[in-house]
Amino acid sequence: MLRFKPLILGLLLALISVRADAQVLAPPAQYDGPSQVEGYDTRTLFQRWVMWVERSKGEALEAALAEVETPEGMRRHGSAIMEARASGDQGLALVADILIFCPSTNSLSDTRGCYPQMRDITIPASASAGGYGADTPLSSWIREQYDPVALVQALKAADVPPDADAWRTDLAPVFAGMASPLDVLRSQTQTRTVDGRTCPALVTALEAVEGRMLEWRIDLLGVAEDTVPPAPRPHATRWRYRLQFFDEDDVGIGAGSSLEPIVSPVFEAGQACRQAAG
C-alpha cells in the first residue's frame, strides 16, 4: 500500500538531460515524382514534408496518452505524480507518466486500495516514415498525400519563392494546410501500462522517493553569469522529467540535474516489470 499525501497543492519540477544512447534513424520514405515543379525543388521539399510528419508525432502521442482508459472501478487520485518525455532528431518519441488510481467508492482523502500505474505511449521505430527500408502505413501515407503541384501552389500563395532555402524556411504553416497526419500517426501508437498490483518493484521505487530531499544549484537565466550546458551528443535521446509532490509551505522551487536520479529509477522499475512479463 502506498502512503500518498493529498495532492491539494502541486509543484512541477522539470529538467532536460541527454543520454548517451543514440537514436537510430530510419531511412526516409522514397519519392519517385518529378524533381522540379515550376522551379521548386520538390525532392528537397519532400524531405521537409517527411520531417514535418515525423515531428507531428508529439501531438499524436500526447493525445493518445490523454485517452488511456481509467481501470474499471477506479478513479484518478490527482494528476500525474511523475512524467517523462523522450525526444530526438525527429521530435518527441515517447511520453510516459505515473498516476495513482483509487477505488471509485473511496472518499477523496481515502487512499486505501490505491495503486500506481505507469503508462507510456510510443510509435515504434519500425513504424516510422522509413520503416528501416520496409514499407509501412506511415511511409505509404506520406507518399500518397504528398502532392508536389498542390504544394507549389501553396508555396506561391505564401510568397515562398523557388530559390528559398527549404531547410531554413518555416514551412510548417504551408504543411499545416495539407492533409493532417494525426490519424495515421495515432493508428501507429503503442500503449503500454504497468501497475503496482502486479509490479511490486514500482511501488518500492515510488516509496523510495517519498521523503527524499532535493539538492541543486539555482541558476536563474539572465541573472549574473549563466551556466553553459554541454552540447548534446549527435542523435542522442533527450529526456525531460516532471515530478509533482505536495509541498506543505506552497513554496515554488526549480530543479536541476539532481532530479533525474530520483525520478528515472521509478520508470526503470516499471520498464523492468514490463520486460519480465514479455
> Over its length of 278 residues, how does the chain's per-residue pLDDT go in tens digits?
444 443 323 334 433 333 333 343 444 556 788 889 999 999 999 999 988 998 899 999 999 999 999 999 999 998 888 888 888 877 888 999 999 999 999 998 899 999 999 999 998 877 766 544 567 888 889 888 999 999 999 999 999 999 999 999 999 999 999 999 999 999 999 999 999 999 999 999 999 998 887 777 777 888 988 888 777 777 777 888 888 876 665 444 444 456 788 888 999 999 999 999 87
Q: What is the DSSP string of the chain?
A: -------SS--EEEEEEEEEEEPPPPPPPP--S-SEETTEEHHHHHHHHHHHHHTTHHHHHHHHHHTPPPPTTEEE-SS-SEEEEEEETTEEEEEEEEEEEEETTS-TT--TT-EEEEEEEE--GGGSSSGGGS--HHHHHHHHH--HHHHHHHHHHTT--TTS-TTTS--HHHHHTS---HHHHHHT-EEEEEETTT-HHHHHHHHHHTTPPP------TTSSSPP-PPPPPTTEEEEEEEEE---TT-------GGGHHHHHHHHHHHHHHHHHH-
Confidence at residue 248, expressed as pLDDT on a 0 to 100 scale? 60
Confidence at residue 169, expressed as pLDDT on a 0 to 100 scale? 95
List CB contacts of 77: < 8 A, sequence separation 6 or more: 4, 7, 99, 100, 101, 102, 111, 114
Q: Tell me how long the chain is.
A: 278
Give the position of cell 528537397. Answer: 44
Confidence at residue 225, expressed as pLDDT on a 0 to 100 scale? 87
pTM value surpassing 0.75: yes
Confidence at residue 29, expressed as pLDDT on a 0 to 100 scale? 58
Confidence at residue 140, expressed as pLDDT on a 0 to 100 scale? 85
